[in-house]
Structure 1
Amino acid sequence: MEFELSPVEQRVLGCLIEKEMATPDHYPLTLNALVNACNQKNNRYPVMELDSATVEQTLFELRTEHKLAVEVSASGSRVMKYRHNVAEHWSFSLSQMAILCELFIRGPQTPGDLRAHCSRLHALADSNQVEMLLHELKNHEEGCFVVQLPRQPGKRERRWAHLFGAAPEIQEEEPEEIAVPEMQTGPSRLERIQTLEDEVSDLKQELADLKEAFEAFKTAFE
């Protein structure tokens, strides 16, 4: 990657992509609309509290340093609006854009999570399609845009992260521990069976004694 976007730049760019795909009738965005998008409580991780000055400065950096945002003037309005400029840098499909957008605004995710979250932007068939798209982004002819992270303890699926910012810290996956059965310190299986047989034999004897006592009781009153 030829540059690294800060976390705030990733959030602003991700929100521009998101609103273009999710609400095209309200895109490009005004500064106020973009601030609200960046500070949403849902569909965001982490949740941010950005003010207008910070978002405006971030837009300036995206426009001048990275050429990833454009300022546009709306017809008959003095309020400036903003759109992203990703398409002039890389040739991503709509499916790939949806995945990158979700990674920008939510952080690392599993293929299953990405499929669920991308559904509001662009429908994806299943997790297998997401896996295919992630590998396309990893081996893209214009660069490597995503990376697979080590499996988290207790998780079945591994997460993926984008590479438009600082490279995520990759730690070697610890080998799975093989559970070794503990040595049995209690009675063996044969000993437990013998104990049960002894208990059954005792119960039979007690039952026989009760029957004998009952018969003797009946005889006394005949």
Structure 2
Amino acid sequence: MSDDSNTENDDAESASGPPARPISAIARRCLGVLVEKAKTTPDNYPLSLAGIITGCNQKSNRDPKMDVDEGDALRALDELREAGAVREIQGSGRVTKYRHAAYEWFDVDSPGSAIMTELLLRGPQTLGEIRTRANRMHPFVDLTATQAEVDSLMAKGLVEAITPAGRGQTFAHCLYTPIERQHLAAKVEKRAAAEAPATGPKASPGSLANENRIDKIQGRLDEVTARLEALEKKLADLES
């Protein structure tokens, strides 16, 4: 793998952009793709619109799978440019290309950007998963080094632990929208309830009621998210 330091340092200009803030799911995917490709295939970076779409929709190293089209990608890139996370440049043959500004937008170095990229591309993960997957972009010698970097990102407000400390503790980035954060919290609660030891005390009526309430909340959040996505698509179609 080529050293990405020269390519990526071009993005860390003296002027600092706005602080990182919640962005849409497709915008997060586009930003993750740009940082990933800058690190893993620097000869093909910056990326064209077609390259970004291909990276968003690839089957490996992605969760959830997406089916991003040109309109989706352009709207996401506009969102990222307005936020200060992406820059548009003129490539060879007058082809418009895009490069990330993640280093200053996140205020991170190469290890931090590798972890943020994995969380953007694959969602919540354990420390072991983060280390294994981020190693393709930056080498982490052990879990202690990975934990130190995660702690640094948590101190910056970029990462949070979404499950209790201990074996299997899971971490997520903090760029989810408010509705997505509620949805994620509901999923975590439901998973924790499902993974409770079967030999434990018999579930009380109150705990069963809480599980039913969580299921209902998650169902409602799914409906709200679907409606919002449909409305956003209609508005985008009207604008175009």
Q: Is TM (by shorter chain) over 0.5? A: yes
Task: Tell me how far 1:91 sits from its aligned partner.
Answer: 2.4
Deviations 1:14-46 (A, max 9, x none): 101101111111110000011000000000000
The answer to whether the 8 Å contact 2:103/2:109 transfers is: no
RMSD: 2.5
Deviations 1:149-175 (A, max 9, x none): 1259xx93111000012334276767x
Task: Tell me if 1:147 matches 2:160.
Answer: yes
Q: 2:75 aligns with which of 57, 65, 69?
A: 57
CA distance in 2, matches of 1:82, 1:106: 22
Residue 127 to residue 73, structure 1, CA distance change in 2 (3 Å): same
Deviations 1:110-136 (A, max 9, x none): 011111101111111112211111111
Which residue identity does 1:112 align to in structure 2?
G
Residue 162 of structure 1 is matched in structure 2 by 173
Task: Tell me if 1:134 matches 2:147.
Answer: no
Q: SS in structure 1 opposite 2:89?
A: strand
CA distance in 2, matches of 1:79, 1:178: 59
Task: Tell me how far 1:139 sits from its aligned partner.
Answer: 1.1
CA distance in 2, matches of 1:41, 1:59: 21
Q: 1:23 aligns with which of 30, 38, 41?
A: 41
Q: How many residues align?
A: 173
Q: 1:81 aligns with which of 75, 80, 97?
A: 97
Task: Tell me how far 1:47 sits from its aligned partner.
Answer: 0.6
CA distance in 1, matches of 2:57, 2:106: 27
Which residue identity does 2:94 align to in structure 1?
R
Task: Tell me how far 1:52 sits from its aligned partner.
Answer: 1.2
Structure 1 gaps of 5+ residues are: 181-222
Residue 71 of structure 1 is matched in structure 2 by 88
Deviations 1:76-109 (A, max 9, x none): x111000111223342021110000000000000
Task: Tell me if 1:34 matches 2:41.
Answer: no
CA distance in 2, matches of 1:55, 1:3: 19
CA distance in 2, matches of 1:29, 1:49: 18
Structure 2 gaps of 5+ residues are: 1-18, 201-240
The answer to whether the 8 Å contact 2:20/2:106 transfers is: no
The structure having more radius of gyration, on CA atoms, is 1
Superposition TM-score, scaled by structure 2 size = 0.66
CA distance in 2, matches of 1:39, 1:178: 39
Higher helix share: 2
Q: SS in structure 1 opposite 2:185?
A: coil
Residue 138 to residue 37, structure 1, CA distance change in 2 (3 Å): same
Which residue identity does 2:133 align to in structure 1?
H
Residue 3 of structure 1 is matched in structure 2 by 21
Which residue identity does 1:126 align to in structure 2?
D
Superposition TM-score, scaled by structure 1 size = 0.71
Residue 216 of structure 1 is matched in structure 2 by none
Which residue identity does 1:148 align to in structure 2?
A
Residue 120 to residue 177, structure 1, CA distance change in 2 (3 Å): closer
Residue 18 to residue 2, structure 1, CA distance change in 2 (3 Å): closer
Residue 205 of structure 1 is matched in structure 2 by none
Q: Percent identity?
A: 33
